[in-house]
Amino acid sequence: MQKPLILVSNDDGIDSRGIRHLVEVMSGLGEVVVVAPDSPQSGMGHAITIGNTLRLTPTDLFPGIDSYKCSGTPADCVKLAKHHVLKERKPDLVVSGINHGSNTSISVLYSGTMSAAIEAAIEGMPAIGFSLCDYGSKADFTHTLNYVEKIASEALAKGISKGVALNVNFPKKRGEAIKGIKICRQARAMWLEKFDQRVDPNGREYYWMAGEFVNFDKGEDNDEWAIENNYVSIVPCQFDMTAHHAITQMNDEWSI
């Protein structure tokens, strides 16, 4: 029986620890092809490269696995993988990550990790973005791997709804085992930014973005609650951003 074809990408760069773990797990589930950025692309969102060159270079970072580093964004990586690397072959699953940091709630909009997955969904391919909610330099990914395998196996066996990418976040490793998996919604939470005004050694002003993350959501069915309570969160995401309820309100109330 032919093995499933699995495309792996990320936003932390092809030499990150997270993608090494992801490739290792996916190699046990199917034939893996890797196309990932040649440098960190965190916070790039769904940016694509227009008007500049894109370079795609084979690598030997993953022995025995067809792998390439790309000079572009995570979304570029998926596009190049589909149209150039894989050509007529369509992946049975596209996975992105494992991201070193959280992509819960509003962060999904800024996330390069999830943009690779959403780009795959746009292209008609089942997709999952995996993220670990730990920003520490020595973050431990090992407690996530069984869940990565379980979720990917379920997706391969039973499918993902068309046009949907799964946003999977793992809690930071704690003294107790992860309690389980919650399929939930995106929390109503956001970053309240502030910009520190500073001066460089040449006397020129510059700004450094800072701020704090605030969760306004009191529900227990969202991704922030799941992570806080030591569950894996899965939020099904779609690229159709139409606010359907607003169509009715505008048709009823606006005079246009």
CA–CA gap between residue 155 and residue 95 (Å, rounded): 11
Residue 145 CA to residue 24 CA, distance in Å, equals 9
Is residue 130 a contact partner of residue 43, using CB atoms and an 8 Å limit?
no
C-alpha span between 193 and 173 (Å, rounded): 28
Alpha-carbon torsion (21, 228, 121, 78), positive or negative: negative
Determine whether the annotation assigns residue 99 to a binding site. yes
Is 137 flagged in the annotation as binding? no
Give the position of tokens 């009191």.
218
DSSP letters spanning 41-102: -TT-TT----SS---EEE--SSTTSEEEEESS-HHHHHHHIIIIISTTPPPSEEEEEEEES-
Contacts of 108 (CB under 8 A, 6+ apart): 114, 167, 186, 235, 237
Tokens representing residue 70 in the block: 């790309």
DSSP 8-class letter at 171: P
As annotated, the binding site includes 11-12, 42, 99
As annotated, the binding site for a divalent metal cation includes 11-12, 42, 99
